[in-house]
Amino acid sequence: MCGIVGYIGTKKACPILINGLLKLEYRGYDSSGISTMENGYISNMKDKGRVKNLYALDGINDLIGTSGIAHTRWATHGKPSKENSHPHMDNSNTFSVVHNGIIENYQELRNVLEEKGYTFKSSTDTETIPNLIHMYYSKDKNYDEKRFLRAVASTCKDLKGSYAIEVLCKEYPDVVIVARKDSPLVIGTGDNENYIASDIPAILEYTKDFYLLNDGEVVEVYKDKINFYNCNLEKIEKDVKKIEWDATSSEKDGYPDYMLKEIYEQPRSVRETIGARLKNNEVVDFEDIHLTKEYLESVNKIYLVACGTAMHAGLAIKPMFERLCKIPVTVDIASEFRYREPLIDNKTLCIYISQSGETADTIAALKLSKMQGAKTIAISNVIGSSISREADYTIYTHAGPEIAVASTKAYTSQVTLLALLALHFAEILECSDKALIEAIKNELLLLPEKLQQVLENVTEIEEFAKKVYTEHDIFFLGRGNDYAVALEASLKLKEISYIHSDAYAAGELKHGPIALIENGITVVGIITDPVLSPKTVSNIQEVITRGAKTLIVTDQALENGNYDKVIKIPKTHPMISEILTVVPLQLFAYYITKEKGLDVDKPRNLAKSVTVE
């Protein structure tokens, strides 16, 4: 939920840290702060609000230290304020700490520390960490070069919950110590300098060589060497990974907002998700998943588990999985799944969908299903994310960095990858009509071109958005896959425009929701299902007769139905229509939000990655 960044090298740390924070603001922007190792002391500057408030502070440009840590916050414990912002120092100002995560036993630790005479300035869970480090450090009378390391490692053993921390010690000015559990942390290594961050895009412009930390690891980061240890301080070796993203791909490429850039990247991201996995009429290639026909024939249930948009991707692909693989599929919300004691055994295949790979509820649900004997597959967009280290198998969407909080290209890549996975299973199981499989494959290969066509005809969407941006309620209707898209379109609209919105299975209108329809209200109808469309058309007519304004997204030639606006999209196979249908509605939400003058990339109250429950 927060973003942390660190640097140690030969350059001034402050500009590098500030630049990293600006790239991490999507993870939270209630407050921010920076500590650098100055001559014989640790500076600590922080303020409420966005990073721009931090680098406006008096004296920030006087920081000359060549190592430091920094933090941008999404408040979990303690309201957004200067005293609650990170970094936090111990009472003696010997240590400075930035932290991403939640320390669940912080109150207990705080009580122990207060009994020992420590005092606290903030109401955060994090402030216990520097004081705990100081307590262990003071007790350790072995004044060797590892005293700082031991104090941090002992502290980590006391922490329950999740943490990614960076620690400075004024008595060890040549090293930054970092550690993680259940919160992401990466180290980028350069020439006589090293970088630390919550995620890769924050420091990608400086290096392509990364170390991905695992839970429980503690690391000494010097400018010219990095020492990795496990939680018992046994040295471990780690391979460096070269990240192929280029730095600019994390920038806006000339678009006004990350969200618009990412919407327009979808022809490419879908093409790259398909990538080498699908060639004309050849078997879908998932070399990274080794599931046999015997195992798949033993599977009697598939769960698709996720949150938010990722869960909507599961809803959209469920019919295809069931139709092709002949296996019952249940789509579940991770925060519900993990607490309702789901029936899971070794005949259950659980597929977890997570763009960030860091969503706490999704990871917790995955751990639960593993404990109960299920095989687990993670679908993530972030290489080396936490979820990839928990799942039996991980397949990546290769959509490239998704920076906007509102997920767009990740959704279409997730649905594309899930469709390929369903085809892969169906080919192994040999349980589906080959002509159907070939038809879907051919249409998947045509998707990038068809997505481009949709993106070249956006004027009418923008015009209609400008007519309705002042509305207080907008409803979305659909049946089958169109209903799954209605749910996603409604989430997009509400999370960035703050307009109240709901999505209904069109057949449900008469069971209550139609009472909401009154003169002038806006209703969006999604009509692509070849079988169910006539019924949806009837439902739309019911709202029109009650005075609704209507926007229709369809791949069909509808008779004149008194619609206010009809957006025509190319046809594709009905089982993957959601990949095209969703795009005009992503733009609909985007244009409305821009018309309202809101920040489309960083909506209020939200963060890109929900790494806490």
> Catalytic site residues?
2, 608
Q: Which residue lies nearer to ligand AGP by CB, 266 or 354?
A: 354
Q: How far apart (Å, rounded) are the C-alpha atoms in residues 528 and 476?
A: 14
Q: Which residue lies nearer to ligand AGP by CB, 406 or 566?
A: 406
When binding is defined by CB under 6 A, the residue of 51, 164, 299, 307 that contacts ligand AGP is 307
Are 390 and 366 a contacting pair, CB within 8 Å? yes
From the list 3-11, 172-180, 302-310, 436-444, the region that binds ligand AGP by CB under 6 A is 302-310
Classified as helix, coil or strand, 221 is strand
Number of H helices, E strands in the chain: 17, 25
Q: Which residue lies nearer to ligand AGP by CB, 35 or 385?
A: 385
Q: How far apart (Å, rounded) are the C-alpha atoms in residues 318 and 314?
A: 6
Site string for ligand AGP, 337-376 (x = CB under 6 A): -----------------xxx--x--x--------------
Classified as helix, coil or strand, 400 is coil
Q: Which residue lies nearer to ligand AGP by CB, 82 or 500?
A: 500
Least spacing, CB of residue 607 vs ligand AGP, in Å: 8
Residues, the chain = 613
Site string for ligand AGP, 593-612 (x = CB under 6 A): ----------------xx--
Site string for ligand AGP, 72-91 (x = CB under 6 A): --------------------
Q: What sign does the dihedral 250-252-258-264 (CA atoms) show?
A: negative
Q: How far apart (Å, rounded) are the C-alpha atoms in residues 238 and 213?
A: 9
Least spacing, CB of residue 586 vs ligand AGP, in Å: 10
Q: How far apart (Å, rounded) are the C-alpha atoms in residues 607 and 250?
A: 17
**Degrees, nearest 5: CA angle 316-317-319:** 100
Classified as helix, coil or strand, 348 is strand
Are 207 and 195 a contacting pair, CB within 8 Å? yes
Which has the closest alpha carbon to 487: 307, 303, 351?
Answer: 307
Q: How far apart (Å, rounded) are the C-alpha atoms in residues 179 and 183?
A: 10
Q: Which residue lies nearer to ligand AGP by CB, 189 or 359?
A: 359
Q: How far apart (Å, rounded) are the C-alpha atoms in residues 394 and 386?
A: 11
Q: How far apart (Å, rounded) are the C-alpha atoms in residues 270 and 263?
A: 11
When binding is defined by CB under 6 A, the residue of 14, 185, 203, 406 that contacts ligand AGP is 406
Q: How far apart (Å, rounded) are the C-alpha atoms in residues 139 and 131?
A: 12
Classified as helix, coil or strand, 256 is coil
Beta bridge partners of 31: 48, 73
From the list 239-247, 400-408, 542-550, 551-559, the region that binds ligand AGP by CB under 6 A is 400-408
When binding is defined by CB under 6 A, the residue of 31, 72, 309, 386 that contacts ligand AGP is 309
Q: Which residue lies nearer to ligand AGP by CB, 167 or 589?
A: 589
Q: Which residue lies nearer to ligand AGP by CB, 9 or 584?
A: 584
From the list 21-29, 71-79, 305-313, 338-346, the region that binds ligand AGP by CB under 6 A is 305-313
Site string for ligand AGP, 475-504 (x = CB under 6 A): --------------------x---------
Q: How far apart (Å, rounded) are the C-alpha atoms in residues 484 and 297?
A: 28
When binding is defined by CB under 6 A, the residue of 34, 221, 315, 405 that contacts ligand AGP is 405
Least spacing, CB of residue 608 vs ligand AGP, in Å: 7
When binding is defined by CB under 6 A, the residue of 308, 314, 574, 584 that contacts ligand AGP is 308
Are 482 and 488 a contacting pair, CB within 8 Å? no
* 419 interacts with ligand AGP by CB under 6 A: no
Q: Which residue lies nearer to ligand AGP by CB, 188 or 603?
A: 603
Q: Name the token pair of 294.
A: 């015997």
Q: Which single residue brings its beta carbon nearest to ligand AGP?
A: 308
Give the number of other CB atoms < 10 A from CB of residue 317: 29
Where along the sequence are the contacts to ligand AGP (CB under 6 A)? 307-310, 354-356, 359, 362, 405-407, 495, 609-610
